[in-house]
Amino acid sequence: MVTISIGDWFKLPFMGKDVFVRLARDAQLRYDSKKGFLVTPSTNLVSLSTILHTALGEDVNYAVKCFICGSPAPCNQCIYTQICDKRVVSSACICNSCEGKEEAYTLYSLKFAQGL
């Protein structure tokens, strides 16, 4: 299984020009020759999963970060883990620490407004 941490640069093995073009064009994955690949807000995670599964023969798992503080969001402890599709909602996750804060909604709103 391939695990991709959303928001972090990652490397992939060489898979050929055709796959690279599909990753850039269809999945909208960002590439830097020194850093590797990066999932951005415009990346189509469903397409990315499909392309990598076909090219590598492995499933793709997405590790998500807290929208507020950027620390890893512990998906295995989330009450929504059984129904969550990380390919769709990954940018909206909140870690347990931030969720427990009284000002969580305000922090979330401010962070969201910064992204607009």
Return the domain boundaries, the chain: 2-63, 75-114
* Cα 64 versus chain centre, distance: 6
In three-state form (DSSP H/G/I as H, E/B as E, the rest C), the secondary structure along 65-77 is ECCCCCCECCHHH
β-strands 2-5, 60-63: how paired? parallel
Confidence of residue 90 (pLDDT cuts 50, 70, 90): low
How far, in Å, CA of 53 to CA of 73, rounded? 24
Confidence of residue 100 (pLDDT cuts 50, 70, 90): confident
Mean pLDDT of 84-90: 70
Check residue 26 and give its pLDDT. Answer: 95
How far, in Å, CA of 107 to CA of 10, rounded? 28
| CB atoms closer than 10 angstroms to residue 29 | 26
Do residues 65 and 56 touch, judged by C-beta distance below 8 A? no
- Share of residues in the chain with pLDDT > 90 (%): 38
Mean pLDDT of 17-37: 95
Check residue 115 and give its pLDDT. Answer: 66
Structure tokens at 91: 């940018």
